[in-house]
Amino acid sequence: MSTQELDALIHVPARLRIMATLATLPDGDALSFTRLQGLIGLTPGNLITHLRKLEDATYIDTAKSGNGSASLTTIVLTRQGRKALDVYTAALRDLLGGL
């Protein structure tokens, strides 16, 4: 097995951290953008870029509520996202076992 078999979308430091952080929450729980940004330590623009890529792949869902300064964006890991992370983790374990 080679690194090429790892999910390229997840196998990037920022997105791996985003996925791993969201996966810590129970199924059905969402995390606010602000809290996620605080945990990951990315700039808002950088985080948005990575979230869009994950959302395009249906690994996460984002929802926006409220208006103006009171608006709140929440991010939740989808079932596909959880499965993709599990597959990635298993592939990584296999790869490291083979090295």
Partner 1 sequence: MMSQERESSKSTTPDVDGELDPHEAAALLQQTRLRAQRQFDVWPPYLLFIGAAIFLFAFGAAWWSVRGQSPYVGPSGWALADMYGGIVAWIVAVVSVVQRATRGVSGRSAKRRAYRAGYLAIIIAYSVFQGALYHAGASHAIVYGIYPACAPWLFAGATFLTYAAIREEGRAFVLGIVLLAVGIGGAFAGPIAAWLVSGISLCAVLLGFAAVQAARRRA
Footprint on this chain of partner 1 (rule: CB under 8 A): 3, 6, 11-14, 16-17, 20-21, 23-32, 34-36, 39, 42, 46, 74, 76, 89, 92-93, 95-97, 99
Please choose, from the candidates 46, 51, 50, the residue with its C-alpha nearest in 3D space to the C-alpha of residue 61: 51
Partners of residue 60 on adjacent β-strands: 77
To the nearest whole angstrom, how small is the minimum distance from the Cβ of residue 68 to partner 1? 19
> How many CB atoms are located within 10 Å of the residue 16 CB?
18
To the nearest whole angstrom, how small is the minimum distance from the Cβ of residue 52 to partner 1? 14
Q: Which amino acid is at 44?
A: P
Cβ proximity to partner 1, 57 vs 76, nearer residue: 76
Cβ proximity to partner 1, 8 vs 58, nearer residue: 8
Partners of residue 62 on adjacent β-strands: 75
Cβ proximity to partner 1, 55 vs 76, nearer residue: 76
Q: Which amino acid is at 4?
A: Q
To the nearest whole angstrom, how small is the minimum distance from the Cβ of residue 99 to partner 1? 6
